[in-house]
Chain A
Amino acid sequence: MLRLDNKSAGTDRMIYTIASTKLGIIGDPYVPADGINVAALLSGGFIVEQSTPKPKKPAKTNTETNEEI
Chain B
Amino acid sequence: MATSTYLSNPVVTVNSVDLTDQTSASTLTRVIEALESTSFGKTARVYVGGLENSTLTLTMYNSFAATETYATLAALVGTSTTVTIKPTSAATSATNPISTLTGCYLETLPIVNAALGALDTIDITFTGGVYSVATS
Contact = CB atoms under 8 A, between A and B. Distances in A.
Interface stretch (A1-9, A39-47, A57-65): A39-47
**Chain A: number of interface residues, binned into ranges:** 10 to 19
Contact of A34 (B66, B75, B82): B82
B74 A22 contact: no
Interface SS of chain B? mixed
A44 to B, nearest CB: 4
Interface in A16-56: 19-20, 22-23, 32-37, 39-41, 43-46
Contacts of B81: 35-37, 40
Given A40-B76, A45-B66, A22 B19 contact: yes
Nearest to A18: B16
A37 B66 contact: no
Contact of B67 (A20, A32, A33): A20
B82 A44 contact: no
A41 B17 contact: yes
Contacts of B88: none
A14 to B, nearest CB: 16
Given A23-B17, A32-B16, A37 B67 contact: no
Nearest to B70: A44
B71 interface: yes
Contacts of A40: 15, 72, 74-76, 79, 81
B123 interface: no
A45 B68 CA distance: 10
